Amino acid sequence: MSISKFMPLPDAIAEYVFDGASVAFEGFSHLVPFAAAHETIRQRRQGLTLVRMTPDLIFDQMIGMGCADRVFFSYAGNPGVGLLRRMRDAVENAWPNPIEIREHSHAAFANAYVAGASGLSFMVFRGYRGVDLPKFNPDIRTVRCPFGGEELAAVRAINPDVAIIHAQRADHAGNVLVEGIVGMQKEAVFAAERTVVTVEEIVEDLNSHPNACVLPGWLLDAVCVVPGGAHPSYAQGYYGRDNAAYREWNSISADRKTFLAWMKTHVLDQTPDVFASRVLWREDAA
C-alpha cells in the first residue's frame, strides 16, 4: 500500500524477475507488456519459465534472446500473419537453447489460471476428450464427479512467481484499471506471487464504471509508468495496434542474424522511454 511501489521499470524487473523464475506476461492481443519483456531481455535474465496463453512476438523475442528454459502456452502464432519463427527454431532446432514446452488448449489454460487465482491446486473442466495433448502434458489429468460419476478433465493450477501486465492507468494509490479486451490479466495477477504492472499514465481518478476490471494497489508490487509500453500491441482508448510491425516481424524473425541485429538496435540499445516514441496518444488537439 505504500507509495514505494511506483518505480522505474528497470528497478521493478531487477527486483522481481529473477533468473529461473516463472513469469506470466499476460494480455490477450491487447495490452501485451512488451516494454517489460524488453527490459527483461536487456537485463539478460535466463532460465525463465515463460507463461502466456498466446506467446506472440513477445515470447518469440525472449526465446530468441535465450531468456527461456520453458514455455507454457496455448496458441503459438503471430496472429493473422503466420508462425513464430524464433520459437519454432528453439523447438525444432534448439536455437539458441533447447526449450521445454508445456502446452494447453485455451480453455484448459484459462482454467489453470482460474485455479491459481482461486487458491486451488487444480480446476475441473469439460475438455480434452479424445485428443492427443494429455499424452504430452503432465498437468492434465482426470477427476470423477463425486455426484454423478462423470469423468472430467482436471488441469493443474498455474501460480507464476511473477505476473507482468500492461494497463491503461493507475491512480496515486496504485490501483490499476484494465479495460476493453481484459483477457486473463486479473486471473494472472491473482494467481502470481508478485505482480509488476506497467501503465500508460497515472491519474487522479480512475474514473471508470463501478464493475470495471480494477486491480487494487495492495495486490501489486510495482507500478511503472511506461507510455506506449504495449507497442506493437495496443491500449484501448490510447493507441491502436501496429499491425504493420506484426507483419514485418515475419521477415525479421525469419533469419537468426537479422533477428539479432534487430534486437540489438530496437531492444538492447534502448531504454523503456523509447516506447513513448513508438505510439502517439492523447492527441487532444485533433
Partner 1 sequence: MMDYTSVEMMTVAASRALQSNDICFAGVGPPSEACNLARLVHAPGITLIYESGAVRARPDVLPLSVGDGELCETALNTVSVAEMFRYWLQGGNIPIGFLGAAQIDRFGNINTTVVGDYRHPRIRLPGGGGAPEIAGSCGQVYIIVKQSRRGFVRELDFVTTFGHGSGGKSRQETGFATAGPTIVFTDMAVWRPDPRTKELSVVSLHAGVSREQMQNSVGWEIKYADKVEETPVPTPIELERLRALHSRTRAAHSGRHQGLIKAQASRPDHRARNTG
Residues that bind its own copies (CB under 8 A): 118-126, 139, 141-148, 150, 152, 154, 156, 179-180, 182, 208-213, 236
- Spatial CB neighbours of 246, under 8 Å, sequence gap ≥ 6: 57, 78, 79, 80, 81, 232
Q: In the range 130-159, which residues lie near partner 1 by CB under 8 A? A: 130-133, 135-136, 151
Asked if 98 touches partner 1 (CB under 8 A), the answer is no
Which is it for strands 222-225 and 194-203: parallel, antiparallel or unpaired? parallel
Per-residue DSSP letters for 98-147? --EEEE--HHHHHHHHHHHHTT-SEEEES--TT-SGGGT-TTEEEEE-TT
The mark string for 60-79 relative to partner 1 (x by CB under 8 A, - otherwise) is: -------------xxxxx-x
- Residue list 220-239, contact with partner 1 (CB under 8 A): 234, 236-239
Closer residue to partner 1 (CB): 13 or 222: 222
The site partner of 250 among its own copies, partner 1, none (C-beta below 5 to 8 Å per kind) is: none
Q: What is the DSSP letter of 220?
A: -
Task: For the CB of residue 76, give the shortest distance to its own copies in the complex, in Å.
Answer: 24
| Least CB distance to its own copies at residue 189 (A) | 16
Q: How far is the CB of 147 from its own copies (least distance, A)?
A: 5
Q: Is 94 left (phi over 0), alpha (psi -120 to 50) or beta?
A: left
Residue 267's binding partner among partner 1, its own copies, none (Cβ under 5 to 8 angstroms by kind) is: none
E strand or H helix at 36? helix 34-42
Residues 6+ apart with CB under 8 A from 36: 9, 12, 13, 25, 164, 166, 196, 198, 224, 226, 229
175 binds partner 1 (CB under 8 A): yes
The phi, psi pair for 195, rounded to 5°, reads -135, 135
The answer to whether 81 contacts partner 1 (rule: CB under 8 A) is: yes
List binders of partner 1 among 248-277 (CB under 8 A). none
Number of residues that bind partner 1 (CB under 8 A): 92
3 binds partner 1 (CB under 8 A): no
Residue 145 site contact among its own copies, partner 1, none (CB < 5 to 8 Å, cut-off depends on kind)? its own copies
154 makes contact, choosing from partner 1, its own copies, none, with CB < 5 to 8 Å by partner type, with its own copies
Please give the torsion angle defined by the CA atoms of residues 36, 39, 44 and 46, in that order, rounded to the nearest 10 degrees.
0
User: What percent of the chain is helix, strand and coil (3-state, nearest 5)?
Assistant: 30, 25, 45
Member of 8, 10, 14, 29 binding partner 1 (CB under 8 A): 29
Q: Residue 254 is placed in which grid cell? A: 525469419
Of the pair 45, 231, the CB lying nearest partner 1 is at: 231
Which does residue 148 touch among its own copies, partner 1, none (CB within 5 to 8 A, set by kind)? its own copies
What grid cell was written down for 193? 506471487
Which stretch, 3-11, 13-21, 105-113, 256-264, contacts partner 1 (CB under 8 A)?
105-113
Pairing between strand 151-156 and 122-125? antiparallel
104 or 156, CB closer to partner 1?
A: 104
Rounded CA separation 29/40 (Å): 20
